[in-house]
Amino acid sequence: MSASVKTSTSPWAKFFLQAWSCFVLVLAVFILLVFETRAEEIAVTVDKTTQRLTVEVDGVIQYRWAVSTARRGYLTPNGSYRPEWLARKWFSREYDWSPMPYSIFFSGGYAIHGSYEISNLGSPASHGCIRLHPENAAILFALVRSNMNSTRIVVTGESSNVGVRASGATRKPKTKRKVWWERPFFY
Protein backbone atom coordinates (compact mmCIF):
# COMPACT_ATOMS: atom_id res chain seq x y z
CA MET A 1 0.00 0.00 0.00
CA SER A 2 1.34 3.26 -0.94
CA ALA A 3 1.19 6.14 1.35
CA SER A 4 -0.15 9.25 -0.17
CA VAL A 5 1.91 12.29 0.52
CA LYS A 6 -0.09 15.40 1.07
CA THR A 7 1.70 18.54 -0.03
CA SER A 8 0.29 21.77 1.09
CA THR A 9 1.68 25.21 1.34
CA SER A 10 1.14 27.12 4.43
CA PRO A 11 -0.87 30.32 4.39
CA TRP A 12 2.31 32.23 5.22
CA ALA A 13 4.05 30.82 2.12
CA LYS A 14 1.14 31.85 -0.10
CA PHE A 15 1.15 35.32 1.43
CA PHE A 16 4.92 35.62 0.93
CA LEU A 17 4.68 34.57 -2.75
CA GLN A 18 1.89 37.06 -3.43
CA ALA A 19 3.74 39.85 -1.63
CA TRP A 20 6.94 39.04 -3.50
CA SER A 21 5.09 39.06 -6.86
CA CYS A 22 3.56 42.46 -6.07
CA PHE A 23 6.94 43.81 -5.00
CA VAL A 24 8.61 42.67 -8.24
CA LEU A 25 5.79 44.18 -10.30
CA VAL A 26 5.97 47.54 -8.49
CA LEU A 27 9.76 47.55 -8.80
CA ALA A 28 9.56 46.88 -12.55
CA VAL A 29 7.10 49.74 -13.06
CA PHE A 30 9.27 52.05 -10.97
CA ILE A 31 12.37 51.18 -13.00
CA LEU A 32 10.51 51.79 -16.27
CA LEU A 33 9.29 55.18 -15.08
CA VAL A 34 12.60 56.34 -13.65
CA PHE A 35 14.89 55.02 -16.35
CA GLU A 36 12.57 55.58 -19.28
CA THR A 37 14.44 56.83 -22.31
CA ARG A 38 13.32 60.38 -22.70
CA ALA A 39 12.73 61.94 -26.09
CA GLU A 40 15.55 63.99 -27.49
CA GLU A 41 14.94 67.72 -27.84
CA ILE A 42 15.26 68.58 -31.54
CA ALA A 43 15.74 72.21 -32.59
CA VAL A 44 15.59 72.94 -36.32
CA THR A 45 16.66 76.52 -37.07
CA VAL A 46 16.35 77.98 -40.56
CA ASP A 47 18.22 81.22 -41.25
CA LYS A 48 16.85 82.80 -44.43
CA THR A 49 19.70 85.34 -44.51
CA THR A 50 22.40 82.68 -44.86
CA GLN A 51 20.11 80.03 -46.44
CA ARG A 52 21.25 77.48 -43.86
CA LEU A 53 19.38 74.97 -41.70
CA THR A 54 20.90 73.88 -38.39
CA VAL A 55 19.80 70.80 -36.44
CA GLU A 56 20.51 70.62 -32.71
CA VAL A 57 19.89 67.50 -30.66
CA ASP A 58 19.74 68.15 -26.91
CA GLY A 59 21.50 71.49 -27.43
CA VAL A 60 24.40 70.10 -29.49
CA ILE A 61 24.69 71.00 -33.19
CA GLN A 62 24.51 67.78 -35.21
CA TYR A 63 23.92 69.02 -38.77
CA ARG A 64 24.22 72.20 -40.82
CA TRP A 65 22.88 72.14 -44.37
CA ALA A 66 22.28 74.51 -47.28
CA VAL A 67 18.60 75.18 -48.04
CA SER A 68 16.46 77.19 -50.41
CA THR A 69 13.69 79.35 -48.99
CA ALA A 70 11.22 81.60 -50.82
CA ARG A 71 12.41 83.37 -53.92
CA ARG A 72 11.46 86.93 -54.88
CA GLY A 73 7.69 87.43 -54.77
CA TYR A 74 7.03 84.58 -52.35
CA LEU A 75 7.32 84.22 -48.58
CA THR A 76 8.71 81.74 -46.08
CA PRO A 77 7.11 82.85 -42.80
CA ASN A 78 9.31 83.63 -39.79
CA GLY A 79 8.29 82.18 -36.44
CA SER A 80 8.52 79.28 -34.06
CA TYR A 81 6.56 76.17 -34.97
CA ARG A 82 5.94 72.53 -34.08
CA PRO A 83 5.72 69.88 -36.80
CA GLU A 84 2.06 69.41 -37.71
CA TRP A 85 2.31 66.29 -39.85
CA LEU A 86 4.80 64.28 -41.89
CA ALA A 87 4.67 62.68 -45.33
CA ARG A 88 7.37 60.35 -46.66
CA LYS A 89 6.15 60.94 -50.24
CA TRP A 90 4.13 64.01 -51.09
CA PHE A 91 3.33 65.92 -54.25
CA SER A 92 2.46 69.61 -54.35
CA ARG A 93 -1.12 70.08 -55.45
CA GLU A 94 -0.52 73.80 -55.84
CA TYR A 95 2.63 73.66 -57.97
CA ASP A 96 2.20 71.12 -60.77
CA TRP A 97 2.46 68.00 -58.62
CA SER A 98 6.11 68.71 -57.84
CA PRO A 99 7.64 65.95 -55.70
CA MET A 100 8.23 66.83 -52.03
CA PRO A 101 10.00 63.81 -50.50
CA TYR A 102 10.37 63.62 -46.71
CA SER A 103 7.97 66.50 -46.02
CA ILE A 104 7.69 67.98 -42.53
CA PHE A 105 4.69 70.33 -42.55
CA PHE A 106 4.92 73.06 -39.93
CA SER A 107 2.53 75.88 -40.84
CA GLY A 108 -0.43 74.95 -43.00
CA GLY A 109 0.98 74.23 -46.44
CA TYR A 110 4.56 75.24 -45.60
CA ALA A 111 7.02 72.39 -45.21
CA ILE A 112 10.65 71.43 -44.96
CA HIS A 113 11.18 68.84 -47.69
CA GLY A 114 13.64 67.31 -50.07
CA SER A 115 14.11 68.76 -53.52
CA TYR A 116 15.70 67.36 -56.64
CA GLU A 117 16.67 70.88 -57.77
CA ILE A 118 19.86 70.76 -55.72
CA SER A 119 21.77 73.24 -57.87
CA ASN A 120 19.83 76.11 -56.25
CA LEU A 121 20.45 75.08 -52.64
CA GLY A 122 22.06 77.95 -50.75
CA SER A 123 20.00 80.62 -52.47
CA PRO A 124 16.28 81.58 -52.44
CA ALA A 125 14.44 79.47 -55.03
CA SER A 126 11.17 78.08 -53.62
CA HIS A 127 7.53 79.13 -53.52
CA GLY A 128 7.73 79.35 -49.71
CA CYS A 129 8.73 75.92 -48.51
CA ILE A 130 12.19 75.13 -47.22
CA ARG A 131 14.02 72.86 -49.65
CA LEU A 132 16.79 70.45 -48.66
CA HIS A 133 18.96 67.92 -50.45
CA PRO A 134 16.91 64.67 -50.46
CA GLU A 135 19.56 62.77 -48.44
CA ASN A 136 19.57 65.48 -45.75
CA ALA A 137 15.78 65.60 -45.79
CA ALA A 138 15.68 61.85 -45.10
CA ILE A 139 17.95 62.27 -42.06
CA LEU A 140 15.87 65.16 -40.71
CA PHE A 141 12.61 63.30 -41.39
CA ALA A 142 13.78 60.27 -39.38
CA LEU A 143 14.87 62.49 -36.47
CA VAL A 144 11.60 64.39 -36.37
CA ARG A 145 9.45 61.28 -36.82
CA SER A 146 11.00 59.64 -33.76
CA ASN A 147 10.80 62.87 -31.70
CA MET A 148 7.69 64.59 -33.07
CA ASN A 149 6.50 66.06 -29.76
CA SER A 150 9.90 67.39 -28.75
CA THR A 151 10.78 69.11 -32.05
CA ARG A 152 10.76 72.88 -32.50
CA ILE A 153 11.19 74.57 -35.92
CA VAL A 154 12.37 78.19 -35.86
CA VAL A 155 12.52 80.28 -39.04
CA THR A 156 14.49 83.53 -38.78
CA GLY A 157 16.28 86.07 -40.93
CA GLU A 158 15.53 88.16 -43.93
CA SER A 159 15.52 87.09 -47.52
CA SER A 160 15.80 89.08 -50.69
CA ASN A 161 12.04 89.16 -51.06
CA VAL A 162 11.47 92.72 -52.10
CA GLY A 163 8.00 92.98 -53.52
CA VAL A 164 6.17 90.60 -51.18
CA ARG A 165 2.84 92.12 -50.26
CA ALA A 166 2.37 92.85 -46.57
CA SER A 167 -1.42 92.85 -46.86
CA GLY A 168 -1.68 89.36 -45.41
CA ALA A 169 -1.24 87.47 -48.65
CA THR A 170 1.60 85.04 -48.16
CA ARG A 171 1.79 83.57 -51.62
CA LYS A 172 1.57 84.98 -55.07
CA PRO A 173 -1.89 84.33 -56.52
CA LYS A 174 -1.87 81.68 -59.19
CA THR A 175 -4.36 81.24 -61.97
CA LYS A 176 -6.16 77.93 -61.80
CA ARG A 177 -4.88 75.50 -64.38
CA LYS A 178 -7.35 73.18 -65.93
CA VAL A 179 -6.75 69.52 -65.30
CA TRP A 180 -6.92 67.11 -68.20
CA TRP A 181 -10.60 66.27 -67.69
CA GLU A 182 -11.56 69.97 -67.82
CA ARG A 183 -9.57 70.71 -70.97
CA PRO A 184 -11.20 70.55 -74.41
CA PHE A 185 -10.59 67.33 -76.29
CA PHE A 186 -9.42 69.14 -79.42
CA TYR A 187 -6.74 71.81 -79.38
| pLDDT given at position 168 | 43
Task: Please report whether residue 142 resides in a domain.
Answer: yes
What per-residue confidence (pLDDT) applies to 33? Answer: 58
Range of the domain at 91: 42-156
In the chain, the N- to C-terminal Cα span, in Å, equals 107
Residue 24 lies in a domain: no
Task: Provide the whole-model pTM.
Answer: 0.65
Q: Does residue 30 sit within a domain?
A: no
Strand partners, 87: 103
Domain membership flag for residue 120: yes
User: Is the residue at 164 inside a domain?
Assistant: no
* Count: domains in the chain: 1
Residue 186: inside a domain: no
pLDDT along the chain (187 residues), means of 10: 61 74 66 60 95 94 94 93 85 66 88 89 90 94 91 88 44 48 46
28 CB neighbour count, 10 Å cutoff: 10
Domain membership of residue 172 (yes or no) is no
8 occurs within a structural domain: no
Residue 17: the pLDDT is: 72
Residue 90's CATH number? 2.40.440.10
